[in-house]
Structure 1
Amino acid sequence: MSIFRFALRRLMLAVPTLLGLLVATFALANFLPGDSMGRLLGDKAASNPEIVANYRHLWGLDQPLPIQFLVYLKNLLQGDLGRSTVSQRPVVDDLLDYLPATIELAVAAILVAGTGGLVLGTLAAYFHRRWPDTVVRAIALVASGVPVFWLALISLQIFYLKLGIVPGPEGRLSREFATPTSITGAYTVDALLTGQWGTFVNAVQHLILPALVLGSYFLGLIARITRASTLEVLCAQYVVTARSKGLSPMQVLRSYILPNALIPTVTVLGLAVGGLLSGAVLTETVFAWPGIGRYAVEAAKALDYQAILGVSLVIGVIYVLTNAVVDIVYAKLDPRILLGK
């Protein structure tokens, strides 16, 4: 089977999962306790049965559940996720405003977790049972065992209040810097593209600590998995043969060790995407980061179900598609998957 056919089949298999996700979000909208009608219509209007009945008829809420689901699916395919009862704006517009900040933070955290975990795991495997291995294992244990919200608070206490080397929890930029012209929504990228170097440096300074905190758990996890897989590959016969042929350590690492040791790591990186997006709720709250995590917290406080479901749906879709891409990359790294082995 070619990689193209495998990718097409894997993406098609994601369709039932996405459909199940839609059913789950629709069920949440209908069976969660509480009523946001008062916030949406106003307390006086919500107490008037005639106004409530007209509203429910307008949006098809007086129809049987299967009909409501079809209306929900139709609106979704048209890009309509409902209207937020807090901001009084379409949920899609809110998500387009908040999502770039979360993506910027998540990408930075993935770079921290992926790069740091790979380097530390490989280093620990090469110095197996020596002091670098012990240090890396200790770092991985602490990084993957400390709760994110606690680490965020302690990091602010040390690096902001005590040492003063990072900005405080004031969002994505300091107040004296203007928001760069929006191109991608990521302040670091937009500042680079528009040549605003001071804004770029300030945006990076604000990004460093939240990214380190958010990526800490997966950094420890990737370091441990990379260490274990690298140790297994180091003992493989083909690596011993490559060394006996006189290949340099760097050639052996690049051509034989990393391609095989990376296979389980790639799987963890795929899981990390969903984990980082969900973990961003706590990190964004502590660091006052204006992303969808903080948006979801505010929506939950106000029983803004349309906003909560919009966030859940977006994160779910990203998670499902990311895992499909991971399977494709996995097949590229290990051709035996394409042969059905």
Structure 2
Amino acid sequence: MAGGGSSLKSYLLVRTLLVIPTIFILLTLVFVLMRVAPGNPVSAALGGHVPQAVIQEISHRLGYDRPLYQQFGSYLWNLAHGDFGATITDKRQVSDIILVNGAATLELTLAAAIVALAVGIPIGLIAGRFRDRPIDAASRIFGIIMYAMPVFVLGLLAQIVFGSWLGWLPISDQASPMTSALMTTHTNLLLVDAVIDGDWDSFWDVLQHLVLPAGTLGLVFAGVFVRLVRINVIRTLKDDYIEAARARGIREQAVVYRHAFRNALVPVITVIGLEIALLMGGAVLTETTFNWPGIGHALYTYLQNRDYAAVQGIVIVFGLVVVFASLLVDILSALIDPRMRYQ
């Protein structure tokens, strides 16, 4: 037991320490890519319609006229103190974008993840349990279609069917204008804020606006979990300990759900961390399709405006989320599956 505990501590320490060079490489790549982009970032962001003297003044204020090594040093120093800088076009603090727009993205991503897991895992389990039967074929077709479907195409179809034709759900924005004007902000998570205030009318309004974008993004990624869970259930059902459990007379249902299913979920936990990067990437398209005021929508807007200062800060946030999510998945995998500690 002592050896196992020691190996776990060593594994967690190594994985945690690896975060440091990973973050440094990420920050360096973002800095370099933003600096090698052609043209003056200030001129590009302002559209080239301002006097050169103004462009030079803003460039000097932002430090773009200093040597690259000095810019890089200031860049790292500011990030270490939580300063992500300000946008060029509207002079908005990037940290404000992270708090406000990032909260909207977090709400969307969590809801989409719940949809993906709630749909993908049961369907994958059923498909693996009843392999080569009609229900398996239907599940596989569903998984393939969802996996291959561009999120914006599914989003547009959902808007047409459930918004325009049936009129069941709103097709854009995070809440109705009246709700947005009346709600009190506590956490920038509108559902949470509505619960805190006990405002159930606003909660229902926000929830209705969340259904289509979260459902769209979640269904696309449910295809990944259908295929992954199905394959792992089939593989697990062939293991020796499953055959031994059957030989002891344990009911098939108990064999599948208590033994095979639990072990088949270990790879799913690992993939969840990898899917976070894809979920956030998908959130950019989903937020644009549904006019959802998240960080992905902000990134799209600032990219259109060629505001490299804003793009740099937002991309760093995306990268940091993925890095720490991967670390969390490594920790959870090590706690669930002891074999991971020796890899």
Q: Which one of 22, 25, 35 corresponds to residue 20 of structure 1? A: 25
Residues 235-244 or 127-136, more deviating: 235-244
CA distance, structure 1, for counterparts of residue 137 and residue 153 of structure 2: 25
Residues 336 and 58 of structure 1, relative CA distance in 2, 3 Å threshold: same
Query: 5+ unaligned residues in a row in structure 2: which ranges?
Result: 1-5
Secondary structure, aligned partner of 1:177: helix
**C-alpha contact 1:110 1:272 (8 A) present in aligned 2:** no
The aligned residue for residue 174 of structure 2 is 172
Q: Which one of 263, 273, 278 corresponds to residue 260 of structure 1? A: 263
CA deviation vs aligned residue, 1:214-255 (integer Å, no higher than 9, x gap): 122321011101000001111111122223334445543454
Query: 5+ unaligned residues in a row in structure 1: which ranges?
Result: none
CA distance, structure 1, for counterparts of residue 94 and residue 147 of structure 2: 34
Q: Which one of 320, 323, 326 corresponds to residue 326 of structure 2? A: 323
Shift of 1:168: 2.1
The aligned residue for residue 3 of structure 2 is none
Residues 33-42 or 172-181, more deviating: 33-42
CA deviation vs aligned residue, 1:276-324 (integer Å, no higher than 9, x gap): 1111111111101000111011101111111111110000000111111
CA distance, structure 2, for counterparts of residue 158 and residue 256 of structure 1: 41
**C-alpha contact 2:42 2:58 (8 A) present in aligned 1:** no
With normalisation by structure 2, the TM-score equals 0.91
CA distance, structure 1, for counterparts of residue 305 and residue 140 of structure 2: 43
Shift of 1:55: 4.5
CA distance, structure 1, for counterparts of residue 174 and residue 287 of structure 2: 10
% identical equivalent positions: 35
The aligned residue for residue 104 of structure 2 is 101
Q: Which one of 203, 213, 216 corresponds to residue 213 of structure 1? A: 216
**C-alpha contact 2:30 2:312 (8 A) present in aligned 1:** yes
**C-alpha contact 1:124 1:133 (8 A) present in aligned 2:** yes
CA distance, structure 2, for counterparts of residue 42 and residue 287 of structure 1: 27
- Say whether residues 1:32 and 2:37 are aligned partners: yes
Q: Which one of 286, 299, 303 corresponds to residue 300 of structure 1? A: 303
Residues 242-251 or 268-277, more deviating: 242-251
RMSD: 2.1
Shift of 1:104: 0.4
CA distance, structure 1, for counterparts of residue 223 and residue 335 of structure 2: 26
CA distance, structure 1, for counterparts of residue 76 and residue 97 of structure 2: 20
**Which amino acid counterpart does residue 8 of structure 2 have in structure 1?**
I
- Say whether residues 1:126 and 2:160 are aligned partners: no
CA deviation vs aligned residue, 1:133-184 (integer Å, no higher than 9, x gap): 1111111011011111111111111111111111121x11123324532232
Q: How many residues get paired?
A: 337
With normalisation by structure 1, the TM-score equals 0.92
Secondary structure, aligned partner of 2:131: coil
Shift of 1:274: 0.8
**C-alpha contact 2:105 2:295 (8 A) present in aligned 1:** yes
